């Protein structure tokens, strides 16, 4: 296998993956920090390197509607947005999941106003978790590229047939240059079969999508099918990641990735670019004698409940880092984690740390400090006193 | 070549001077020397002329960190007037290095760091590297930085040509090479 | 891979799911002697219940199984050939 390393920003890694996936229709509305994804794709098309159409629209709502329409007619379609753009798109996010049309969208995670803020937190992405989309969060630019390609394969698998979104942190990945191995077109072609979807709009065979159901129970069953398909997607995710690993030498554990977990008693849980800093924090704490490991949740939806439980069971505690908050409750990753670990009888104390909101920089030192105090408290008192802690750095 | 596991570098420039470009080319050059790297801008409202910073990390293994660089090992200053506007030495590690675009004296005073000067503006003017009235010092500074970091200049020159294309790249590569030769420790 | 069936929000268009003619309070009656064959009623009917028949007695006719009696046809007719008559 030939290794072709390019130095790409996270946004350019998305654009390369979209090109390699032979996407035919792209529609988007510019918003910082997503803009350079679509700029790069436009360059590919303009220079003849990519055979696709860009549809210019007046809003993000229309961007996803356009992509949804194109995908319904049988082609691979892609869009990208951030923050307020995603908020404006929200209705179509639900609609395209309900319609069961495979689409891939990149979310460059950015704080939601007020006040205006362009830096990364995960509020925009996490607020989509009830929609029915597959949701994957990348840690670095290589994983961005690999995951976009994987996501096309997963969303178009007949066991799944749902749209999927991939998140990458604003600037921290989107505008950061890292070495990225860009695979051969022939390798991607052998990995991605031609487009599959549950139905296709074509002339001469009229169908209606989305009519009022005559019986609400039919509608409830559709929603149940969305849920069941997301759960069924777990198996597909594992298969696809394994196959990608065989082709490229790179796999990410499918749903979750563990780092120094095998003999760990305490677990750090997180998603996104700061997982890299968490790895350094784990190494640092290990060198101090703390038995700590890291669980990176690669997928937020489907939520890897059993997979997480299997790792944490028998441990002494877990600490979940959220870069967003369900105001008035707790961090969304924490809420999912405690609900499922509790229901699966994994009886360990779980603490939530809300940090990095609005783009506050969080280093491995910050993470190690918080985790150290958590472990000390459990070792000395056996319980967590402040189970939802806001960490301002 | 660098012997440490991780070297963190901060570039000070003005919006439009090519600090981010310099950081990007550095990472591509380091890859040729067998090093992993990462380059990123400071994420704010960048405007032409305003003081800006860019960052780079070099390592012998994949760079996992994604947090800001608070304590750089090396600071590169593209414009000699910047020390009057911003604290260019902020967070610099004890024993760190400063590479400044200056003819002879840095004006930074004495401290727990070593300072290296190169007249990058003169090199740029000599070679006609001027854009919209501004001498482009970024590639010269990259050459000087290569010397300070002990990176092979051939890799830097190759990375510059790949990044900028043959025509623009070759003259910029010459600027880098001249700075690599001319840079020297100063006060 | 075996065929997976999902529950999809799809339907095929077909006639006569709901006989909306029973909703009518007034019905449009066409005076065919006045009709100038302009097709305005056919064009404007929101339920497509005006059919073009082109026989010797009449050019168009109303499908009363589906006509809701909205009166748009009577309103747009340029020669007032359609009157709205209360249902018995």
Residue A373's domain is classified under what CATH number?
3.40.50.920
The continuous run of DSSP H or E covering C82 comes out as strand C82-86
Nearest to B43 among A5, A171, A364 (CB): A171
CB contact under 8 A, C4 and A159: yes
Q: How many domains does chain A have?
A: 2
Res C74: pLDDT: 97
Q: For residue C1, is pLDDT > 50?
A: no
- For residue C35, being part of any structural domain is answered with yes
Question: Does C11 contact A at CB distance below 8 Å?
Answer: yes
Q: For residue A99, is pLDDT > 50?
A: yes
Q: Which residue of C has its CA nearest to A218?
A: C7
Sheet-wide strand order for A77-81 = A53-56, A25-28, A77-81, A104-109, A164-169, A134-137, A299-301
Burial class (CB in 10 A: 0-12, 13-18, 19+), B136: buried
Which candidate, B82, B79, B52, B57, places its Cα nearest to that of B68? B57
- For residue A273, being part of any structural domain is answered with yes
Which candidate, A173, A18, A180, places its Cα nearest to that of A105? A18
Res B46: pLDDT: 63
A346: domain range?
Answer: 256-390
Q: Where are the beta strands (DSSP E) in B62-143?
A: 74-77, 96-101, 113-118, 130-131, 134-135
Beta bridge partners of C62: C50
- For residue A81, being part of any structural domain is answered with yes
* CATH number of the domain where residue C27 is located: 3.30.70.20
- For residue C2, being part of any structural domain is answered with no
Q: State the Cα–Cα distance between residues C41 and C26, nearest whole angstrom.
A: 16
User: Distances from the Cα of C11 to the Cαs of A159, A207, B3, in angstroms?
Assistant: 21, 6, 67
All domains of chain B in start order, with CATH: 6-186 (3.40.920.10)
Res B3: pLDDT: 57
Q: For residue B1, is pLDDT > 70?
A: no
User: By the 8 A CB rule, do B99 and B75 touch?
Assistant: yes
Structure tokens at A174: 């989107």
Q: Which residue of B has its CA nearest to A279?
A: B64
Mean pLDDT over each residue of chain C, to the nearest integer: 91
- Which residues numbered 125-184 in A keep a CB inside 8 Å of some CB on C? 158-159, 161
Place of tokens 């109303």: C62
Q: Which residue of A has its CA nearest to C9?
A: A210
Instruction: Using CB atoms, list chains with 3+ pairs below 8 Å to chain C.
Output: A
User: By the 8 A CB rule, do C68 and C14 touch?
Assistant: no
- Of A222, A248, A274, which residue is a domain's last? A248
Q: For residue A4, is pLDDT > 90?
A: no
CB contact under 8 A, B27 and A171: no
Burial class (CB in 10 A: 0-12, 13-18, 19+), A348: middle
Q: For residue A78, is pLDDT > 70?
A: yes
Beta bridge partners of B59: B6, B36
Looking at chain B, the whole-number percentage of residues with pLDDT higher than 90 is 81
Res B16: pLDDT: 83
Question: Does C3 contact A at CB distance below 8 Å?
Answer: yes
A360 contact residues in B (CB cutoff 8 A): none
Q: For residue B145, is pLDDT > 50?
A: yes
Residues A54 and A9 placed together within one structural domain of the fold:
yes
C64: domain range?
Answer: 20-86
Q: Which residue of C has its CA nearest to A214?
A: C17
Res A205: pLDDT: 86
Residues 6+ apart with CB under 8 A from B171: B127, B128, B129
Helical packing angle, A332-343 and A305-312, nearest 10°: 70
Shortest distance between the Cα of A377 and any Cα of chain B, in A, equals 27
CA B12-B13-B17 angle, 5° bins? 150
B24 contact residues in A (CB cutoff 8 A): 7, 177
Q: Where are the beta strands (DSSP E) in B36-138?
A: 36-41, 51-59, 74-77, 96-101, 113-118, 130-131, 134-135
Q: What would the mean pLDDT of A186-207 be, rounded to a whole number?
A: 94
Q: What would the mean pLDDT of C50-62 be, rounded to a whole number?
A: 94
- For residue C72, being part of any structural domain is answered with yes
Q: How many domains does chain C have?
A: 1
- For residue A317, being part of any structural domain is answered with yes
Res B12: pLDDT: 96
Summarize pLDDT for C19-32 with one digit per residue, the tens: 889 999 999 999 99
Beta bridge partners of A270: A296
Residues A379 and A285 placed together within one structural domain of the fold:
yes
Shortest distance between the Cα of A273 and any Cα of chain B, in A, equals 6
- For residue A203, being part of any structural domain is answered with no
- For residue C30, being part of any structural domain is answered with yes
Q: For residue A40, is pLDDT > 90?
A: yes
Residues A56 and A23 placed together within one structural domain of the fold:
yes
Residues A292 and A228 placed together within one structural domain of the fold:
no
Q: State the Cα–Cα distance between residues B69 and B56, nearest whole angstrom.
A: 9
ipTM: 0.93
Q: For residue B47, is pLDDT > 90?
A: no
Mean pLDDT over each residue of chain A, to the nearest integer: 97
The CA-to-CA distance between both ends of chain A, in Å, stands at 44
Residues A304 and A233 placed together within one structural domain of the fold:
no
Question: Does C78 contact A at CB distance below 8 Å?
Answer: no
Residues A261 and A227 placed together within one structural domain of the fold:
no
- For residue A344, being part of any structural domain is answered with yes
Nearest to C7 among A99, A158, A225 (CB): A225
Nearest to A98 among C1, C9, C13 (CB): C9
Residues A243 and A320 placed together within one structural domain of the fold:
no
Residues 6+ apart with CB under 8 A from A87: A112, A124, A127
CB contact under 8 A, A198 and C6: yes
Which candidate, A107, A187, A96, places its Cα nearest to that of A133? A96
* CATH number of the domain where residue A124 is located: 3.40.50.970
Of residues B3 and A297, the one with the higher pLDDT is A297
The model's confidence at residue A164, banded by pLDDT at 50, 70 and 90, is very high
- Which residues numbered 32-61 in B keep a CB inside 8 Å of some CB on A? 36-41, 43
Quick one: CA dihedral A264, A265, A270, A273, positive or negative?
A: negative
- For residue C28, being part of any structural domain is answered with yes
Shortest distance between the Cα of B41 and any Cα of chain A, in A, equals 7
Summarize pLDDT for B55-77 with one digit per residue, the tens: 999 999 999 999 999 999 999 99
CB contact under 8 A, A178 and B38: yes
The residue of A220, A222, A228, A233 whose CB has the most chain C CBs within 10 angstroms, and thus the best one to mutate to test that interface, is: A222
Residues A304 and A380 placed together within one structural domain of the fold:
yes
Nearest to C11 among A100, A211, A225 (CB): A211
CB contact under 8 A, B65 and A280: yes
Of residues C45 and C3, the one with the higher pLDDT is C45
Summarize pLDDT for A263-316 with one digit per residue, the tens: 999 999 999 999 999 999 999 999 999 999 999 999 999 999 999 999 999 999
Query: Could you give the maximum distance between any two Cα atoms of chain A, in Å?
Result: 73
- For residue C5, being part of any structural domain is answered with no
The three-class DSSP label of residue B125 is helix
- For residue A202, being part of any structural domain is answered with no
Question: Does B156 contact A at CB distance below 8 Å?
Answer: no
Nearest to A176 among B36, B38, B62 (CB): B38
Structure tokens at A316: 């002494």
Question: Does B24 contact A at CB distance below 8 Å?
Answer: yes
- For residue A201, being part of any structural domain is answered with no
User: Distances from the Cα of A356 to the Cαs of A293, A325, A361, in angstroms?
Assistant: 21, 11, 6
Q: State the Cα–Cα distance between residues B64 and A312, nearest whole angstrom.
A: 24
Q: State the Cα–Cα distance between residues A19 and A288, nearest whole angstrom.
A: 46
The CA-to-CA distance between both ends of chain C, in Å, stands at 61
Of A270-274, A278-282, A345-349, B50-54, the range with the lowest mean pLDDT is: B50-54
Model pTM above 0.90:
yes
Summarize pLDDT for A20-35 with one digit per residue, the tens: 999 999 999 999 999 9
Q: Please, how many CA atoms are within 13 Å of residue C35, restricted to the half-sphere of its CB?
A: 23
Q: State the Cα–Cα distance between residues A159 and C1, nearest whole angstrom.
A: 9
Summarize pLDDT for A206-246 with one digit per residue, the tens: 899 999 988 999 999 999 999 999 999 999 999 999 999 99
Q: For residue A1, is pLDDT > 50?
A: no
Q: State the Cα–Cα distance between residues B6 and B68, nearest whole angstrom.
A: 14
User: By the 8 A CB rule, do C82 and C39 touch?
Assistant: no
Res A293: pLDDT: 98
- For residue C66, being part of any structural domain is answered with yes
Question: Does B27 contact A at CB distance below 8 Å?
Answer: yes
Which candidate, A281, A350, A344, places its Cα nearest to that of A317? A350
Mean pLDDT over each residue of chain B, to the nearest integer: 93
- For residue C4, being part of any structural domain is answered with no
Res B43: pLDDT: 72
Nearest to B67 among A7, A178, A362 (CB): A362
Shortest distance between the Cα of B55 and any Cα of chain A, in A, equals 9
C15 contact residues in A (CB cutoff 8 A): none
Q: For residue A150, is pLDDT > 70?
A: yes
Q: Which residue of A has its CA nearest to C3?
A: A158
């Amino acid at each position: 296998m030939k290794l072709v390393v390019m130095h790409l920003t996270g946004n350019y890694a998305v654009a390369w993956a979209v090109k390699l996936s032979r996407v035919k229709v792209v529609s988007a509305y510019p918003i910082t920090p997503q803009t350079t994804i679509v700029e790069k794709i436009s360059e590919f098309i303009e220079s003849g390197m990519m055979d696709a159409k860009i549809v210019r629209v007046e809003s993000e709502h229309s961007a996803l509607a356009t992509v949804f329409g194109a995908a319904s007619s049988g082609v691979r379609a892609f869009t990208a947005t951030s923050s307020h753009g995603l908020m404006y798109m929200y209705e179509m996010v639900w609609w395209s999941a309900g319609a069961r049309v495979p689409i891939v969208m990149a979310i460059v995670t950015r704080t939601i106003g007020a006040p205006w803020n362009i830096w990364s937190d995960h509020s925009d992405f996490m607020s989509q978790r009830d929609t029915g989309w597959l949701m994957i969060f990348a840690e670095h630019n290589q994983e961005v590229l690999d995951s976009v390609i994987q996501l096309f394969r997963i969303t178009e698998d007949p066991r799944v047939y749902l749209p999927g979104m991939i998140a990458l942190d604003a600037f921290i990945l989107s505008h950061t240059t890292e070495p990225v191995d860009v695979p051969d077109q022939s390798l991607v072609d052998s990995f991605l079969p031609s487009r599959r979807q549950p139905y296709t709009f074509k002339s001469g065979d009229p169908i209606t999508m989305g009519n009022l159901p005559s019986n609400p129970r039919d509608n409830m069953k559709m929603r149940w099918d969305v849920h069941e398909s997301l759960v069924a997607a777990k198996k597909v995710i594992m298969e696809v990641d394994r196959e990608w690993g065989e082709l490229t030498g790179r796999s990410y554990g499918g749903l979750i990735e563990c780092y120094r977990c095998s003999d760990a008693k305490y677990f750090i849980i997180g998603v996104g670019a700061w997982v890299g800093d968490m790895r350094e924090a784990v190494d640092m704490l290990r060198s101090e004698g703390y038995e700590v490991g890291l669980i990176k949740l690669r997928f937020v939806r489907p939520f890897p409940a059993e997979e997480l439980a299997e790792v944490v069971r028998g441990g002494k505690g877990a600490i979940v880092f959220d870069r967003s908050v369900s105001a008035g409750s707790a961090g969304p990753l924490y809420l999912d984690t405690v609900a499922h670990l509790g229901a699966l009888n994994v009886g360990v104390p779980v603490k939530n740390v809300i940090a990095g909101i609005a783009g506050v920089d969080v280093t491995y030192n910050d993470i190690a400090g918080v985790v150290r105090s958590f472990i000390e408290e459990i070792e000395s008192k056996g319980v967590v006193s402040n189970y939802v802690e806001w960490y301002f750095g | 070549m660098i012997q440490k596991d991780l070297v963190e570098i901060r570039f000070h420039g003005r919006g439009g001077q090519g600090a981010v470009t310099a950081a990007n080319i550095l990472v591509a050059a380091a890859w040729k020397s067998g090093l992993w790297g990462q380059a990123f801008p400071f994420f704010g409202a960048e405007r032409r002329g305003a003081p800006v910073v860019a960052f780079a990390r070099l390592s012998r293994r994949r760079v996992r960190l994604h947090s800001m660089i608070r304590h750089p090992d090396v600071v590169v200053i593209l414009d000699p007037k910047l020390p009057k506007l911003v604290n260019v030495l902020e967070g610099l590690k004890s024993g760190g290095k400063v590479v400044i675009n200056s003819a002879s004296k840095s004006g930074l005073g004495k401290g727990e760091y070593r300072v290296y000067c190169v007249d990058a503006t003169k090199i740029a003017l000599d070679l006609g590297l001027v854009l919209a009235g501004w001498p482009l010092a970024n590639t010269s500074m990259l050459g000087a930085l290569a010397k300070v970091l002990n990176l092979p200049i051939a890799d830097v020159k190759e990375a510059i040509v790949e990044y900028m294309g043959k025509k623009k790249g070759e003259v910029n590569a010459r600027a880098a090479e001249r700075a690599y030769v001319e840079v020297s420790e100063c006060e | 891979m075996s065929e997976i069936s999902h529950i999809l929000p799809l339907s095929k268009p077909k006639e006569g799911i709901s006989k909306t003619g029973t909703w009518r309070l007034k019905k449009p009656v066409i005076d065919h002697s006045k009709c100038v064959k302009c097709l305005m009623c056919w064009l404007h009917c929101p339920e497509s219940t005006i059919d073009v028949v082109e026989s010797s007695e009449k050019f168009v006719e109303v499908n009363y199984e589906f006509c809701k009696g909205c009166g748009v046809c009577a309103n747009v007719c340029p020669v007032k050939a359609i009157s709205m008559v209360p249902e018995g």
